[in-house]
Amino acid sequence: ISQSSLVHLLEHAPFLKELGLRDTALGDDVLYHFVGCSLEALDICETM
């Protein structure tokens, strides 16, 4: 997934409960775009 696509998703998914970024090469700054309040699980295993 591209960084711009993920930013768009995070900006428009306030009720996202789980997010898996396993084996992605995205920077931590992408997560700053998440405006949700219901995230219960975040998988960042082996992100680069």
pTM recorded for the entire structure: 0.62
Rounded CA gap, 21 and 28, in Å? Answer: 11
Report pLDDT for 48. Answer: 67
Report pLDDT for 32. Answer: 80
Report pLDDT for 2. Answer: 82
Q: Cβ–Cβ contacts within 10 Å for residue 10, how many?
A: 19
Structure token pair of residue 30: 């992408």
- 4 has pLDDT over 80: yes
**What are 11-48's pLDDT values in tens digits?**
888 888 998 888 887 777 877 878 888 889 988 787 66
Count Cα atoms within 13 angstroms, Cβ side, for 28.
1
